[in-house]
């Protein structure tokens, strides 16, 4: 690809040159490799989490008694794990020669964690076999380890899918870069009250913006739309996670 020329920005005013730390350099390389190798498409959808949120808030005292916090993230992990089991083409990697697809019979999901040094992605193993409390504790532990540089290399390996949640910050939709060799990543933005037509009138509902970026070599658009519809359905009525 054409190189970006080196420019002396100092000729137009004062500048400061900062060295990028190793983590940011490695992340930059990974982003560029994924961006250049993967034909990306992003499918957006909204999940109605009004009931989920009422249930989550009702667990606040229980969470405190257990010494943990129940954020939307464990619910997202459970819904994603269910969808990955239902649609195994999302729980897969392409062989480097592009001639085969490796389907994984395990559900390990990475969570993007923002740290002062840059982005880290610890992997939660066997999400489909864990309960919400277990996931809540593990997410908090992994995020803490990431922020205090205590993650072991093996705790960042083996992911099948990644969730990047910017929900606590804000924004509405974004286009995450697939964490190769995975074939899809779910971006989650901030939930907001929106008017929804219920057939008779507009009702205020809490809507969660979802953005699924996927590798178009491995997944077609119809499959991606079905995946986000399934995720929205599961998050809209979490009893369906038991089916
Ligand atoms: N909508 C509205 N509120 C949300 C939300 C959403 N989608 N997601 C989280 N929140 C709320 C939580 O419920 C919590 O509020 P309460 O305490 O009142 O319940 C608050 O935001 C803070 O949540 P949190 O950030 O502490 O916890 P989390 O489980 O949502 O996220 C983690 C954990 C590690 C994913 C997050 O801290 C983080 O680092 N996110 C950044 C990821 C990132 O950088 N992605 C970009 C990668 S590409 O460059």
What ipTM did this prediction achieve? 0.93
Q: How far does residue 85's CA lie from ligand 1's centre (Å)?
A: 25
Q: How far does residue 135's CA lie from ligand 1's centre (Å)?
A: 14
Which residues are within 8 A (CB) of 52 and not within 5 positions of it... i.e. 6 or more apart? 72, 75, 235, 236, 238
Residues of the chain with pLDDT under 70: none
73 lines ligand 1 (CB under 6 A): yes
116-134 confidence digits (pLDDT tens): 999 999 999 999 999 999 9
192-226 confidence digits (pLDDT tens): 999 999 999 999 999 999 999 999 999 999 999 99
Residue of the CA atom closest to atom 38 of ligand 1: 113
Question: In 104-240, which ranges are continuous DSSP H helix?
Answer: 132-147, 221-236
Concerning whether 40 is annotated as a catalytic residue, the answer is: no
Question: In the chain, which ranges are continuous DSSP H helix?
Answer: 22-37, 50-58, 60-65, 72-86, 132-147, 221-236
Query: What is the best residue among 151, 167, 170, 235 to mutate for testing ligand 1's pocket, by most ligand atoms within 8 Å of CB?
Result: 167
Looking at ligand 1, which atom is closest to the CA of residue 71?
13
pLDDT the model gives residue 209 = 98
190 lines ligand 1 (CB under 6 A): yes
pLDDT the model gives residue 158 = 98
121 lines ligand 1 (CB under 6 A): no
How many CB atoms sit inside 10 A of residue 133's CB? 15
**Catalytic position from the list 40, 44, 108, 216:** 216
114 lines ligand 1 (CB under 6 A): yes
pLDDT the model gives residue 136 = 97
180-192 confidence digits (pLDDT tens): 999 999 999 999 9
Alpha-carbon span 60 to 100, nearest angstrom: 46
> In this structure, are strands 92-94 and 123-124 parallel, antiparallel, or unpaired?
unpaired
pLDDT the model gives residue 168 = 93
């Amino acid at each position: 690809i054409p190189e970006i020329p080196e420019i002396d920005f100092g000729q137009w005013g004062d500048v400061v040159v900062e060295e990028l730390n190793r983590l940011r350099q490695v992340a930059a390389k990974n982003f560029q490799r994924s961006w250049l190798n993967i034909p990306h498409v992003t499918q957006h959808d909204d999940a109605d989490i009004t009931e989920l949120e009422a249930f989550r808030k009702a667990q606040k005292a229980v969470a405190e008694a257990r010494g943990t916090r129940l954020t939307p993230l464990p619910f997202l992990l459970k819904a994603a794990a269910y969808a990955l089991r239902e649609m195994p083409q999302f729980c897969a990697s392409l062989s480097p020669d592009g001639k085969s697809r490796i389907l994984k019979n395990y559900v390990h999901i990475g969570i993007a964690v923002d740290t002062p040094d840059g982005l880290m992605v610890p992997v939660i193993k066997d999400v489909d076999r864990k309960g919400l409390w277990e996931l809540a504790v593990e997410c908090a532990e992994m995020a803490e380890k990431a922020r205090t540089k205590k993650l072991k290399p093996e705790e960042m390996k083996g992911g099948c899918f990644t969730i990047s949640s910017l929900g606590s910050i804000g924004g509405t939709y974004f286009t995450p870069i697939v964490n190769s060799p995975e074939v899809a990543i779910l971006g989650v933005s901030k939930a907001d009250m929106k008017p929804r037509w219920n057939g008779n009138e507009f009702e205020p509902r809490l809507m969660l913006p979802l953005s699924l970026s996927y590798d178009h070599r491995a997944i077609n658009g119809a499959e991606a739309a079905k995946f986000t519809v399934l995720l929205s359905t599961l998050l809209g009525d979490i009893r369906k996670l038991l089916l």
